[in-house]
A and B are shown apart, each in its own frame.
Chain A
Amino acid sequence: MNVRRLILAAAAGAASVIFGGMIIAVLVLEFGWFDISAADAHMPIVRWFVHRVMIHGVGRRAAHISVPATVPAAVVAGGLCEYQQHCQMCHGGPAIARDPWANGLNPTPPYLIDAHSHWSPQELYWIISKGVKMTAMPSWKMSMSDKQMWSIVAYLENMPKIPPGAYRNWALSAKCPSGADLAKVIRAQIPPAAELPQPQLDIRRG
């Protein structure tokens, strides 16, 4: 008797969940219930859902891509220039804001200084090459060579090492650094040990 009741209750529960789901589906599909405006943020559950779908979708598809072993500094510098021309308007850069219209994109495009700590080089390449549906990230393989896309990955991998001020100066003057320029500013931010200020503290109390 109890078992029968339990089965009945479970069946009724399942039926109401399915029925409720169908009602929501009809409201969303036919009655315009879902707010598709880009001016308002996603509901937290939608944000969670689309992020999981993206992260795992990219990871699964990028795993087999092979990464060029090492790249010369000139390639990283080339990637920086590609980034300035094609990526900065939406993603901003160190000390450079994205274009104001890009603030209207939803989901909001991420700043990428820490991208290399979230994505492997394969994944970054995949995202640039294939784009991401429903985010405004285009597939760049239509307009860029493999070489160009890998140079952007090389730049993203090195982005945190380059002082923000150097990037800003190059971006504002629309100047492309050479590999040597890049190596120079990376080295220059670490002063030789002799130049480091020595602590001067008087520990006696007056």
Chain B
Amino acid sequence: MILLLPAALAACTGPNRETDAKSIIATSCASCHVVPGVPGANGNVGPPLTGIGSRQVIAGYFTNNRPNMVRWITHSQSMLPNNAMPDTNLTPDQANEVAQYLSTLR
């Protein structure tokens, strides 16, 4: 029973996390970016995020790793002042959910 519990929890949180990330992306990223797997995310203002999980560089400047991605999503203007992507109003937790989902797009 105790052994089964983590598996059951994983089954619960797995899809929900992805759903959460997708709904954040739908409201906060979709107008500017194509994001595979998120209906309506077909903006053409910023680059398409197809394959972003295996892309090596963020915004043409920064190594693509989790801390950089989370920071880029929340504070792109302090990382690269005056670039076209605004600071989103996402919390670090929300940005982490989004970054987790993006890392699966390979």
Contacts and interface: CB of A to CB of B under 8 A. Distances in A.
B2 interface: no
Contacts, number: 58
A92 B83 CA distance: 14
A145 interface: no
A165 to B, nearest CB: 3
A47 B39 contact: yes
A113 B89 contact: no
Interface residues of B, number: 22
Given A109-B31, A111-B31, A164 B84 contact: yes
B40 A42 contact: yes
Contacts of A114: 44-45
A163 B82 contact: yes
Contacts of B69: none
Nearest to B88: A97
B32 A111 contact: yes
Interface in A30-74: 40-42, 44, 47
Given A40-B23, A164-B82, 6 more contacts: A93-B86, A95-B83, A96-B86, A97-B87, A165-B83, A168-B77
